[in-house]
Amino acid sequence: MPLAGVSRRALVAAAAAAAVVAPEVSARKRQKPPLAFVMPQLGFFAADSLTTFRANFDAAFTYPVGPNSGNFSNNIIVASHVPPDQLRKLLVAELQMAVAHQLALLGRTVPVDRIAVTLV
C-alpha cells in the first residue's frame, strides 16, 4: 500500500504498537536458558525469635551439562513482616546461591541467574 493511502493516525498507531512490543521481544531474546535445576521440599517452620522465622528445606538439583546431580539441606531465616511475594523471591535466591555453591564444590561454575527453581 503506498504511503499516500495510509493516514498519519494509522502510522502513529503502528509505530506506538511496535515500540511497545519491541522491548518485550528483545528482552526475551536476551534471557539465556537455565543450566541447572533445583526442586526443594520445604520442611520445618519455626519462629526463630520474636521477629524472624526459620524454614528448613531439603533440595535436589541437576546439572545436565556436567553431568552432575545431588541433594542438600539448608535453612533460611527471614523477617516475620516480609510479604509472601518477597518471601518467595528470597527463597528462590537462597536456593540459587546454594546450588551454585554445591556445583562450585564439584568444580562447576554456574551463574545464579541460570539456575531454575521449581517450587511445588
What does the pLDDT look like over 60-107, one tens digit per residue?
Answer: 999 998 888 999 998 889 898 989 889 889 989 999 999 999 999 999
Residue 22 and residue 79 in one domain: no
Q: Residue range 9-28: average pLDDT?
A: 57
Residue 55 and residue 24 in one domain: no
pLDDT-derived band at 44, boundaries 50, 70, 90? confident
Residue 7 and residue 43 in one domain: no
**Over 90: is that where the pLDDT of 115 sits?**
yes
Q: Residue range 31-44: average pLDDT?
A: 90
Cα(115)–Cα(65) distance, integer angstroms = 12
pLDDT for 4 equals: 55
Looking at the 3D structure of the chain, how many domains does it have?
2
State the DSSP string of the chain: --GGGS-HHHHHHHHHHHHHHHHHHHHHHHPPPPSEEEEEEEEEEEE-SSSEEEEEEEEEEEETTTTEEEEEEEEEEEETT--HHHHHHHHHHHHHHHHHHHHHHTT----GGGEEE---
Residue 27 and residue 81 in one domain: no
Residue 42 and residue 27 in one domain: no
pLDDT for 34 equals: 94
pLDDT for 48 equals: 84
Residue 45 and residue 76 in one domain: yes
User: 61 is in which domain, residue-wise?
Assistant: 36-117
Residue 91 and residue 42 in one domain: yes
pLDDT-derived band at 45, boundaries 50, 70, 90? confident
The whole-chain average pLDDT of the chain stands at 83
Residue 48 and residue 26 in one domain: no
pLDDT-derived band at 42, boundaries 50, 70, 90? confident
Q: Residue range 28-44: average pLDDT?
A: 86
